[in-house]
């Protein structure tokens, strides 16, 4: 660990200083009240003051310390607000892809931090836009292709680990797709895949993403645990059941999904997370299709 972070790491281990604001409060208390405590000890043990004079001296020093602590906390909180604002702007970009609008006129270390965040997020945004135009998107469905989905999954796991949030990963398979494709031709099969890709893309949140893993298999990364995943995927399955697909012979067809889901656990990498979701998917297929199964096995749409 860098020497510059040792004191910060020490503070972070204190149960009452896990938040940034808690660390500020602790720093104020220690820096203001310890000298005052030393002064009080001097007054009581070594000062010639006694009686009412001693009481007044202790009272005045206590009031002065309280006022100094309040002022120090206000001053530190005010000075640190740009850092907290920068952090919120960065989180907003990571979650909603809204580019930060941070001021660039400050020339100190915090101003440099804000300028760097502006530069890095815009560079990253441009890179993502470029990659989307150069092979990151599945040409048929307009969502992430498998290579991009694999990369996004690794990134999602790392971000979840850093933030100590929850993440669920779902694999969706179109029931009896091969039969439809063989009976009505590949053009109709492509039409079904395009409609499903659009349906999935428009029914997930901005914090989530959708990819085509291959063939008629799709994946969804969901920020949240089993409850959030179950609610979202149950709704998607219900929307899919109401969707109409018109074949070249004008026959009308409906589609259902088999879906397997796994909630990420700290020891899982992207491969093991996919494998567990795939096991849940096969459980859904063996159970009769048109259903949602979690790797833990209790949720069902």
pLDDT tens digits along 178-207: 998 899 999 999 999 999 999 999 999 988
Please indicate, yes or no, whether residues 152 and 68 belong to a single structural domain of this protein. Answer: no
Please indicate, yes or no, whether residues 58 and 175 belong to a single structural domain of this protein. Answer: no
Residue 36 has pLDDT above 80, yes or no: no
Work out how many domains the chain is built from and give that number.
2
Residue 57 is assigned to a structural domain of this protein:
yes
Tokens encoding 221: 């990364």
Residue 233 is assigned to a structural domain of this protein:
yes
Pairwise CA distance, residues 279 & 65, whole Å: 63
Please indicate, yes or no, whether residues 196 and 76 belong to a single structural domain of this protein. Answer: no
- pLDDT range class, residue 217, cuts 50, 70, 90: very high
Please indicate, yes or no, whether residues 168 and 290 belong to a single structural domain of this protein. Answer: yes
Residue 116 is assigned to a structural domain of this protein:
no
Last residue of a domain, one of 65, 96, 127: 96
Residue 36 is assigned to a structural domain of this protein:
yes
Task: Evaluate whether 222 touches 168 at the Cβ level (below 8 Å).
Answer: yes
The angle subtended at Cα 92 by Cα 87 and Cα 93, nearest 5°, is 100
- pLDDT range class, residue 169, cuts 50, 70, 90: very high
Last residue of a domain, one of 96, 129, 162: 96
- pLDDT range class, residue 131, cuts 50, 70, 90: low
Please indicate, yes or no, whether residues 143 and 289 belong to a single structural domain of this protein. Answer: yes
Range of the domain at 143: 137-294
Q: Which residues of 205-215 are buried (b: 16+ CB within 10 A; e: fewer)?
A: eeebbbbbbee
In the chain, % of residues over pLDDT 70: 94
Residue 126 is assigned to a structural domain of this protein:
no
Report pLDDT digits (tens) over 104-122: 788 888 888 888 898 888 8
Residue 133 has pLDDT above 80, yes or no: no
Pairwise CA distance, residues 75 & 81, whole Å: 10
Please indicate, yes or no, whether residues 150 and 289 belong to a single structural domain of this protein. Answer: yes
CATH number of domain containing 187: 3.30.70.270
Please indicate, yes or no, whether residues 148 and 276 belong to a single structural domain of this protein. Answer: yes
């Amino acid at each position: 660990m860098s020497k510059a972070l040792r004191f910060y790491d020490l503070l972070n281990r204190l149960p009452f200083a896990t938040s940034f604001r808690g660390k500020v409060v602790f720093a104020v208390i220690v820096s203001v009240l310890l000298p005052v405590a030393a002064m009080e000890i001097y007054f009581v043990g070594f000062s010639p003051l006694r009686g009412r004079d001693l009481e007044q001296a202790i009272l005045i020093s206590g009031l002065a310390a309280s006022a100094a602590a309040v002022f120090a906390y206000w001053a530190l909180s005010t000075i640190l607000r740009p850092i907290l604002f920068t952090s919120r702007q960065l989180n907003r970009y990571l979650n909603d892809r809204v580019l930060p609008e941070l001021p660039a006129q400050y020339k100190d270390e915090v101003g440099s931090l804000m300028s760097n965040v502006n530069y890095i997020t815009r560079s990253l945004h441009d890179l993502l836009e470029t990659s989307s135009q150069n092979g990151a998107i599945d040409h048929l469905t307009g969502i992430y292709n498998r290579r991009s989905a694999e990369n996004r999954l690794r990134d999602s796991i790392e971000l979840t680990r850093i933030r100590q949030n929850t993440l669920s990963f779902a694999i969706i398979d179109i029931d009896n797709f091969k039969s439809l494709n063989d009976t009505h031709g590949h053009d109709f099969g492509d039409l079904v895949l395009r409609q499903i890709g659009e349906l999935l893309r428009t029914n997930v949140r901005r914090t989530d993403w959708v990819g085509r893993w291959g063939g008629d298999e799709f994946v969804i990364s969901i920020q949240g645990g089993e409850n959030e995943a179950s609610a979202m995927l149950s709704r998607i399955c219900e929307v899919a059941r109401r969707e109409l697909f018109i074949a070249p012979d004008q026959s009308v067809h409906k589609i259902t999904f088999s879906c397997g889901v796994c909630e990420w656990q700290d020891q899982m990498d992207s491969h093991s997370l996919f494998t567990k979701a795939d096991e849940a998917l096969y459980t859904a297929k063996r159970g009769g299709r048109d259903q949602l199964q979690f790797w833990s096995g209790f949720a069902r749409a």
